[in-house]
């Protein structure tokens, strides 16, 4: 055990479970101590569809990170996404006693009154109440109202809610591995911490995390979140299209996409043949590379058009002044940046990789790690600690469970996973 505290984040994605263990270094950067990256089973678009499979995947990812860090995790921050997430901007008002300064109680009451304005059915829970800014006596854009004089204080809040059942199912899968869920964090909120520069979120930026099952969207403006949402089309849909249209297995379609895929057909010689093996007959067929690009292009166009629609419906499309930041595995196909820019009105687009990381920065540089790094940053900002309580009995128990896992369960499960 190290003396100083450390934090843990688990990104429970549709294609991979990524566990990170990290520690804040003296220079303020985040040192990554352990990385666990394991294919995700039992989850679809942010929702658990097979509890037992999900538990196994989380356990393997956690164990891998713990082994690399040589540290046990007792608590972690866990990512949340999916179609069940809803967000809206609400305002809550308090009257300030005339002539008085605004106190922290006034601020708390204004925030509470904003939350009270959200009618929430019993099967939903609020997961974030994020302060956008305050309005004092009609003047919008106040970041720190404490100590100011006013008659009226309005808190402008971004409230994110989630289906209670979906939240609990993800938490239950994690907790069954012996890791307590300290907080469930909206993935785009976590990702923004890892990839956005301060001036971008001041000016207005769209963050798009093109994952496997969902494309998570968020708009940041005036230094705060202004909108969040998700579309249920992402990288795995591209793979499925390739598999169906070329009549090949999903596994092969994934390989073909990563090796030969581009967002535009004219980025390569479209006539170059790619050899694939047809499902059922196993016959070798030559497919022109341009056809693969056409299939990819159709889905990517859909993803960007749905994004525009989502932002327009929220009345936010015009807020995007400093452009678009793309993360997630689905942003990695060559030409994706250019396509995003073309469809979204020639706006500047860049890939968002995690920043502010010291040790193991290269290991987590791919945009697939952006959410995981965001989760450990979130945890570190809140002063969290992933260390187990230092009672000898507890440590002995955890070590027993983990050695049982390593010795018996892990080798058996590994045998059933692809690539073995």
Q: How many CB atoms lie within 10 A of CB 94?
A: 19
Q: Pick from 72, 330, 335, 388: which binds ligand ATP (CB under 6 A)?
A: 330
Q: How many CB atoms lie within 10 A of CB 93?
A: 14
Between residues 248 and 303, which has the closer beta carbon with respect to Mg ion?
303
d(CA 281, CA 232): 32
Tokens representing 117 are 């304005």
Q: Residue 152 CB, nearest distance to ligand ATP (Å)? A: 41
Q: Which is nearer to ligand ATP, 211 or 229 (CB)?
A: 211
- Residue 109 binds which entry of Mg ion, ligand ATP, none, CB below 5-8 Å type-dependent: none
Q: Give 118: exposed, middle or buried? Use CB within 10 Å, 0-12, 13-18, 19+.
A: middle
Nearest Cα to Cα of residue 187 among 45, 60, 89, 38: 45
- The verdict on 63 binding ligand ATP (CB under 6 A) reads no
Q: Exactly one of 55, 174, 221, 368 binds ligand ATP (CB under 6 A); which one? A: 368
**Can residue 14 be called a binding residue for ligand ATP (CB under 6 A)?**
yes
Q: Which of residues 249-288 bind ligand ATP (CB under 6 A)?
A: 254, 257-258
Selected range binding ligand ATP among 93-101, 109-117, 231-239, 243-251, rule: CB under 6 A: 231-239
Q: For the CB of residue 150, give the shortest distance to Mg ion in the complex, in Å.
A: 42
* Beta bridge partners of residue 286, listed in sequence order: 275
Query: What is the total residue count of the chain?
Result: 420
* Binding to Mg ion in span 9-48, by CB under 5 A: 13
Query: Is 239 a residue that touches ligand ATP (CB under 6 A)?
Result: yes
Please give the structure tokens belonging to residue 356.
Answer: 């502010």
Number of residues that bind ligand ATP (CB under 6 A): 24
Q: Which of 6, 7, 9, 13 binds ligand ATP (CB under 6 A)?
A: 13
Supply angle C-alpha 90, 95, 101, rounded to 5. 110
Candidates 30-38, 171-179, 208-216, 354-362; binding stretch for ligand ATP (CB under 6 A): 208-216
72 is an interface residue for ligand ATP by CB under 6 A: no
Is 95 a binding residue for ligand ATP by CB under 6 A? The answer is: no
Give yes or no for residue 367 binding Mg ion (CB under 5 A): no
Least Å from the CB of residue 205 to ligand ATP: 19
Among 42, 212, 290, 335, binds ligand ATP (CB under 6 A): 212
Burial class (CB in 10 A: 0-12, 13-18, 19+), 169: middle
Work out whether 211 is an interface residue with ligand ATP (CB under 6 A). Answer: yes
Q: Pick one of 329, 352, 374, 388: the residue that binds ligand ATP (CB under 6 A).
A: 329
The DSSP code sequence of 110-158 is: HHHHHHHTS---TTEEEEEEEEEEEEETTEEEES--TT-B-SEEEEEEE
Strand order in the sheet with 30-39: 30-39, 16-24, 7-12, 75-80, 180-186
Residue 315 exposed, middle or buried by CB count within 10 Å (0-12, 13-18, 19+): exposed
Considering the complex, state which of residue 150 and residue 357 has its C-beta at the smaller distance from ligand ATP: 357
Is the Cβ of residue 132 or residue 289 nearer to ligand ATP in the bound state?
A: 289
3-state secondary structure of 293: helix
One residue of 82, 211, 261, 374 binding Mg ion per CB under 5 A: 211
Rounded to a whole number of angstroms, the minimum distance from the CB of residue 416 to ligand ATP is 20
From candidates 92, 235, 290, 335, binder to ligand ATP by CB under 6 A: 235
Q: Residue 131 to residues 110, 134, 154, 235, 397: CA-CA distances in angstroms?
A: 11, 8, 11, 32, 41
In the complex, which residues of this chain contact ligand ATP (CB under 6 A)? 13-16, 40, 46, 81, 211-214, 234-236, 239, 254, 257-258, 328-330, 332-333, 368
Instruction: List residues binding Mg ion (CB under 5 A).
Output: 13, 211
């Amino acid at each position: 055990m190290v003396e100083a505290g450390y934090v843990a984040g688990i990104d429970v994605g549709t294609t991979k479970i990524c566990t990170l263990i990290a520690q804040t270094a003296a220079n303020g950067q985040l040192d990554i101590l352990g990385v666990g990256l394991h294919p995700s089973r039992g989850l679809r678009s942010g929702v658990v569809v097979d509890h037992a499979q999900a538990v196994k995947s989380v356990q393997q990812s956690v164990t891998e990170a713990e082994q690399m860090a040589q540290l046990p995790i007792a608590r972690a921050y866990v990512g949340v996404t999916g179609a069940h997430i809803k967000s809206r901007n609400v305002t809550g008002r308090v009257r300030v006693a005339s002539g008085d300064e605004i106190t922290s109680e006034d601020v708390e009451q204004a925030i509470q009154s904003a939350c009270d304005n959200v009618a929430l059915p019993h099967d939903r829970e609020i997961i974030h109440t994020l302060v956008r800014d305050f309005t004092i006596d009609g003047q919008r854009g106040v970041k720190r109202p404490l100590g100011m004089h006013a008659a009226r204080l309005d808190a402008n809040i971004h409230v994110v809610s989630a289906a209670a059942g979906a939240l609990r199912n993800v938490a239950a899968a994690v907790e069954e591995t012996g890791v307590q869920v300290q907080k469930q964090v909206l993935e785009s909120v976590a990702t923004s911490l890892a990839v956005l520069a301060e001036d971008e979120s001041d000016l207005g930026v769209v963050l798009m995390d093109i994952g496997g099952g969902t494309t998570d969207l968020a708009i940041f403006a005036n230094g705060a979140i202004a909108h969040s949402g998700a579309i249920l089309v992402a990288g795995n849909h591209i793979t499925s299209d390739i598999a169906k249209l070329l009549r090949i297995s999903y596994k092969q379609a994934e390989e073909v996409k990563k090796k030969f895929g581009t967002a535009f057909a004219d980025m390569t010689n479209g006539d170059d043949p790619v050899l694939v093996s047809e499902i059922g007959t196993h016959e070798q067929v030559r497919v022109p590379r341009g056809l693969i690009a056409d299939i990819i292009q159709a889905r990517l166009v859909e993803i960007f058009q749905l994004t525009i629609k989502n932002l327009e419906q929220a009345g936010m499309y015009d807020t995007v002044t400093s452009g678009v930041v793309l993360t997630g595995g689905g942003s990695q196909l060559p030409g994706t940046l250019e396509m995003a820019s073309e469809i979204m009105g020639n706006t500047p687009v860049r890939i968002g990789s995690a920043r502010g990381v010291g040790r193991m920065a290269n290991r987590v540089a791919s945009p697939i790690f952006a959410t995981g790094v965001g989760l450990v940053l979130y945890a570190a900002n809140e002063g969290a600690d992933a260390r187990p309580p230092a009672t000898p009995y507890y440590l002995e128990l955890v070590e027993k469970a983990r050695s049982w896992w390593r010795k018996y369960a892990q080798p058996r499960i590994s045998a059933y996973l692809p690539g073995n």
